[in-house]
Amino acid sequence: MRAFLLVWTALWISGCAAAPTAPVIRLADLRPLSAKATGEVLPLRVSVAAVISPKGTAEGYQPLLDYLAAKLDRPVELVQRRTYAETNDLVEQGFVDLAFVCTSAYVAGHEKFGMELLAAPQVSGISVYYSVLIVPASSTAASMADLRGKVFAFTDPMSYTGRVYPTYLVQQLGSTPDQFFVRTFYTYNHDDAVRAVAQGLADGAAVDSLVLDFALARDPALAKQVHVIHRSSAFGIPPVVVNPNTRPQLKATLQSLLLNMADDPMGKQALQALGFERFVPTDDSAYNSVRELVKAVGPLSP
């Protein structure tokens, strides 16, 4: 009888275990969010066009941002946007101090508001890159002509290697992408375009050779899933740009920091993280061939 009572009491108590006490939060009592005071030091804002995924960009460019922050003794903030056009707008409006843009985005920005070149990365001793046409490893396609009636992945509407150049190839075959492909879609960065082909979502895509090489180096398994069937002639590499109205002193400082990166241990590490050897000075004329091809292709829908 007593044992039973004990068991009963124990069961009862275990059923109503006391909750720990803590201050009560009123979920229905809404207050305006107080904007926290920003730091007194204005950060250096750096934008990177979405050549690769935002996460990949944030990871890849973090050492470079750290390098700049250390050298400038100033916080550096990475600003990313979905499209190249949005990144160009940031540069045009002076919202960012420094930007890594795509080749065709530079050509467009230079024409529109005088986007200024600051430096260009150098890979394997030269500052050029290519547009490479990739298909799934299982595909039998050997050229753009074999992709007729297939699904094609563009990267960004403004991307030179990812849209302008493949459009050029299709035009050379006497067609337009709308007629040539059964369907096209945008991945908004080159990483995803490579993955879309690797996973068979697209039958082909044209991507930045630097991005492909970097992606294959990071993920060797990817090399077995995609297959390069065409490589373009060399084009001016995507540059580092500033707004034309940037203070000359800042511009000079930034340029100097970029050009001297390879001589700094921290800078060297940052360059390695991006797959670059160094930054070198560049000239607008390096992008003339691109201008010609863009002109030849004609205006594209945004």
Binding positions for another protein, rule: CB under 8 A: 1, 8, 11-12, 14-15, 19-33, 35-36, 50, 53-55, 57-58, 62, 78-82
Residue 78 C-beta: closest distance to another protein, Å: 8
Closer of 58 and 223 to another protein (Cβ)? 58
**Using CA of residue 106, residue 110, residue 113, residue 114, what is the dihedral sign?**
positive
The least CB distance from residue 110 to another protein, in Å, is 24
CA distance 48 to 55: 12
Closest to another protein by CB, 78 or 128? 78
Query: Residue 248 or residue 302: which is nearer to another protein going by CB?
Result: 302
Nearer to another protein, 56 or 121 (CB): 56
Q: How far is CA 66 from CA 50, 73, 230, in A?
A: 19, 10, 37
Minimal CA–CA distance to 49: which of 15, 90, 13, 21? 90
Q: Are 82 and 201 in contact (CB under 8 A)?
A: no
The distance of closest approach from Cβ of residue 282 to another protein in the complex, given in angstroms and rounded to an integer, is: 27
Residue 104 CB, nearest approach to another protein (Å) = 19
**Least distance in angstroms from the C-beta of 8 to another protein:** 7
Token pair, residue 197, equals: 């082909």
Nearer to another protein, 43 or 177 (CB): 43
The answer to whether 286 and 236 have CB atoms below 8 angstroms apart is yes
Instruction: Quote the strand ranges of 137-283, DSSP E.
Output: 151-154, 183-186, 204-208, 226-231, 235-236, 240-242, 278-280
From CA 164, how far away is CA 67, in angstroms rounded?
33
Q: Of 43 and 244, which CB lies nearer to another protein in the complex structure?
A: 43
Q: How far is the CB of 192 from another protein (least distance, A)?
A: 10
